[in-house]
Chains A and B, each alone.
Chain A
């Protein structure tokens, strides 16, 4: 009964959302201009550029290859620096936000834990692009501002997830250490962190992957990373160059995904020791112990990349003088005070009327559109994934489930898995930007971009759930002569329903974050209000919309956390 209600409410939210967003299905067919762009753009997919498309650039003797290296290097470098800062925030916040170092509970510790978690959630409620706009408005352009803009929300996310991972671990060793006189931190470092290490490092590498996507997107606020090159190439109609950048970005992200999976596997099973030749003594045993070259190499590679990132520019402040920055900051801090309050010499009595006017003229509508954008996109992503799981789950392609159309379903499965991989590797913001070029200024590009990216993630998570289910029900239905679709509908979906809904809420939460900024591409929502205010240097309004976006994401986070913790308690 509850499941049926879930589908009914989902469908209603989807329809209501489309209606409120004025998403006319007719607009899904692009106009003649859009079709031409799409044809040219897709036509260039198999012919990525190996040199400048612009004649003048080619003749100038500039090297396209060195530009590619520079742009990719900057994209990765900023991400590395940002993630190294985020890791520090994440480790400190993760430990303070967890219970695992407590020798005993106390009021002070509970307060500390709750405040650190709240701070972490607040940091991640503001999207990195918004942080970037705030920093750029406050202190002007600099790579440092961009790096901090990524590091703060990512640090918050790492802190939140790390603290959950630490608390989830088996605490028995830490308990032994404490019971034998050791301190809480000793218990943490010897008993909890080593156990959590595979999960911690996998999640860290996933965030690194996200940081690279974010670093690419920072190109949209003027930093010369891949996103910047894609916008300029698109405006110049140099589609083949765009494909080169996209392939590079996808390559890096997909490599990281593979790397993370391998690291997890290596950390999980360890390496067997070699046989000891000659007498068994300490030295020979030490030499024969199992060590993983791959893990050591990975650690060195990561450290090297972070160091390279930090040293790639000695002008983190863009060479702008300190006094200039302070003057800028002073102006910013003056002007974030709402306009009527400023006019009345700091009389905050005028604030409520200003706020209610802003909200009623634009704010409420933008919030509602942002919310529905995220919800519609998450639901569509879920629907896409649900339709694809039947083909993408490997366990359904095993020999006993083969039908006469084996090669068709196998091929579809491979295509879907590959497509999902690319969809995951593609930042929503860049995808939305490209789709806007095809569909024109409607809300569809934003919906589609969110739905495609998150559909790719959900398809993978969903297929993994199906693949990890026990054989039982699969075998029974199949023995009864059921078809594959019957199998999926009757047995596998109900069995993993809670887990799939859990993933849907997890993605809905991140759609909400993303939805607050996608409007910056010019479609009415919180993001568009922010870019409008920025163009007019209305810092008070920028701050208002950023804060509203943060509240929206914050509430989304809390809702999703609540639903997920309730679902987790139920049997899967």
Chain B
């Protein structure tokens, strides 16, 4: 259960997020939409505590993330997967090595080193299976820089799933692929997250995709939540009209 209580984020004079109140229940699939610069990325940043709220609270199972020590924050973070807009893949490593990074927290330094250099057969099989679900199992040993943009996005999704998180935060996960592929990827992400009973919070700029695949949509504008509800209840087009 993730909750934001009048969470505000300021950079100097600029208010990126203004008094956000939100409550996300386990298993929900939520889409954040809004014009660029409206605060989608910042909001996702608050949710895994990469950014700290200037005022207000971000609660995970009723614990304020800002009050936790780095040691106490780690186990919580290990249950929250994050797919950044830039994907954050290492281009000159192979797919299986990148996917293995999803479980960095559980493996620790030495375990991760071993996975990078001499991955066990068992782990390779696990990753192979996972890659089958995202549809690129034949690329398991290919270097990431030899993959297409869509394939790279699938690797990032596989890395997030490998973490076995309870929440997945995805920042514009389909920003750099064509509409057909974007649809396939969002369908994949929502289906897998639903099956694993994972909470999914994704930001998108394509209203059509948001309407089609998500049950709850949160509209942001200038750092404020201006709408929150089922897609059929919302006048989404008004979000992009100039105020």
Contacts and interface: CB of A to CB of B under 8 A. Distances in A.
B80 interface: yes
A162 to B, nearest CB: 18
Nearest to B113: A189
A15 interface: no
Contacts of A198: 92
Given A176-B101, A186-B107, A181 B74 contact: yes
B88 A176 contact: yes
Contacts of B90: 173, 190-191, 194-195
Contacts of A272: 146
B12 interface: no
A300 to B, nearest CB: 16
B82 A176 contact: yes
Contact of A173 (B48, B50, B88): B88
A280 interface: yes
Nearest to B98: A173
Interface in A187-206: 187, 189-191, 194-195, 197-198
Interface stretch (B136-144, B208-216, B235-243): B136-144
A273 interface: yes
Contact of B140 (A175, A176, A187, A282): A282
B142 A177 contact: no
B78 A181 contact: yes
B84 A175 contact: yes
Interface string B69-87: 0100111111111101011
A67 interface: no
Contacts of A176: 82, 84, 88, 101, 159
A289 interface: yes
A187 B92 contact: no
B187 interface: no
Contact of B104 (A190, A194, A276, A286): A190
A273 B141 contact: yes
Interface in B49-97: 50, 70, 73-82, 84, 86-94, 97
Contacts of B93: 190, 194
A187 B104 CA distance: 8
Contact of B143 (A104, A195, A270, A285): A270
Given A180-B102, A181-B75, A282-B140, A173 B112 contact: no
A461 interface: no
Nearest to A171: B88
A103 B104 CA distance: 14
A186 B103 CA distance: 10
A270 B125 CA distance: 23
Contacts, number: 117
B163 interface: yes
A273 B141 CA distance: 8
Nearest to B78: A181
A275 B124 CA distance: 20
B66 to A, nearest CB: 13
B131 to A, nearest CB: 10
Interface string A263-276: 00001101011001
B109 interface: yes
Given A194-B90, A282-B140, A189 B109 contact: yes
Contact of B108 (A186, A197, A286, A290): A186
A194 B163 contact: no
B188 interface: no
A179 interface: yes
A270 B112 contact: no
B145 interface: yes
Nearest to A177: B104
Contacts of A273: 141-142
B92 A267 contact: yes
Contacts of B76: 181
B115 to A, nearest CB: 8
B77 A183 contact: no
A285 B74 contact: no
A387 interface: no
Contacts of B81: 180
A520 B108 CA distance: 52
B198 to A, nearest CB: 14
Contacts of B137: 280
Contacts of A270: 92, 143, 145-146
Residue from A177, A180, A198 with most neighbouring chain B CB atoms (10 Å): A180
A182 interface: yes
Contacts of B79: 181
Nearest to A267: B92
A103 B70 contact: yes
Contact of B89 (A173, A175, A186, A290): A173
A170 B64 CA distance: 31
A187 B86 CA distance: 16
Contacts of A191: 88, 90, 101
Nearest to A276: B138
Given A172-B86, A173-B88, A179 B50 contact: yes
A185 interface: yes
Nearest to B48: A179
Contacts of A197: 92
A182 B109 CA distance: 8
5 contacts: A173-B88, A179-B50, A182-B78, A270-B143, A286-B141
Interface of B: 48, 50, 70, 73-82, 84, 86-94, 97, 100-102, 104-105, 107-109, 112-113, 116, 124-125, 128, 137-138, 140-143, 145-146, 159, 163, 165
Closest 7 CB pairs of A and B: A181-B105, A182-B104, A181-B78, A289-B141, A181-B77, A172-B88, A176-B88
